[in-house]
Amino acid sequence: MSVLQRLQPYPGLRVLISGGAAGIGEVLAAAYLEAGAQVHVCDVSEPALAAFRDKYPGTVATRADVSDAVQIEAVFKVQREHFGGLDVLVNNAGIAGPTGGIDAISDAEWQATININLTAQYRFAHHAVPMLKASSHGHLLHIASVAGRLGYAWRTPYAATKWAIVGLMKSLASELGESDIRVNALLPGIVEGPRMDGVIRARAEQVGVPEAEMRQEYLNKISLKRMVTAEDVAAMALFLCSPAARNVTGQAISVDGNVEYL
């Protein structure tokens, strides 16, 4: 197999993506579909799922609130029934969490961010690993954030979960290597799209500056002076599902244009 051929994802992969009906998750799903994968997405938003089903007919799309352990278990029942197994889990679902000082954040806001961003990733991995052990191309991909390698003032709950995801990934890579399961994390930077627009808007309101000024402030944090796209993240995800990445595991890979600070 040539080097160029090795860059093509393994054919026919069975892929499950949490939070996969919109945003980065949808772009990831579209990329895997284009590569010939069998894709199952779950999402909490029924309108997003309906739009996904219309856009990608024949795919499996399941409603699930990832903060609910019972609903996560149900997702894996659907996975077994429709696909008979799993080759790639993309642990993508997450929320931005609150914007504010640590003394202003409520316990409920803290717990909600932990439950959705971190505990759900553990629960998905817990159910996925037996299936991945039966796969010849098992890969567990955690979507974290550049906030998992930098401090992030006013977004402490979010940053805490993203640092924890990197720790989860590193530990699972060591634990699952002997089963030939690779485990990695992608750390997207400042990603263009509605979610980032909301983050910028909230921060601008908090400090009392125009939204355009706050947007430029975010761009100034990036060495390349541009935001990344969801397609940039998806391209790296596909690489990690190719023979070229067969020895890539335990890695926290930034896709961020080199964010220097947050």
Same domain for 213 and 145: no
Q: Is the pLDDT of residue 57 over 90?
A: yes
* 68-91 per-position pLDDT tens digit: 999 999 999 999 999 999 999 999
- The Cα–Cα gap between 62 and 57 comes to 14
Active site residue 170: no
Same domain, 216 and 105: no
Distance separating the N- and C-terminal Cα atoms of the chain = 42
Report yes or no on 260 lying in a domain.
Answer: no
Q: Is residue 261 part of a domain?
A: no
Domain that holds residue 220: 190-227
Regarding whether 150 and 214 lie in a shared domain, the answer is no
* pLDDT value at 129 more than 90: yes
242 and 169, same structural domain? yes
Which listed residue (10, 152, 162, 221) is catalytic?
Answer: 162
31's CB contacts (< 8 A; 6+ apart) are 231, 234, 235, 237, 238
Q: How far apart are CA 164 and CA 146, in angstroms?
A: 12
For the chain, what is the domain count? 2
The answer to whether 221 touches 261, Cβ cutoff 8 Å, is: yes
Helix (H) or strand (E) holding 145: none
Residues, the chain: 262
Q: Do residue 93 and residue 195 come from a single domain? A: no
Give the chain's count of helices (H) and strands (E). Answer: 10, 7
Domain annotation covers residue 262: no
Worst-scoring range by mean pLDDT, 19-23, 96-100, 218-222?
Answer: 96-100
162 is catalytic: yes
Q: What span, in angstroms and rounded, lies between the C-alpha atoms of 221 and 241? A: 30
Which of the following is catalytic: 158, 170, 221, 225?
158
User: In whole numbers, what is the pLDDT of the chain averaged over residues?
Assistant: 97
The CATH number assigned to the domain holding 62 equals 3.40.50.720
Question: Looking at the structure, do residues 84 and 172 belong to the same domain, yes or no?
Answer: yes
164, 185 contact by CB (below 8 A): no
- Distance, in Å, from the CA atom of 147 to the CA atom of 131, rounded to the nearest integer, reads 30
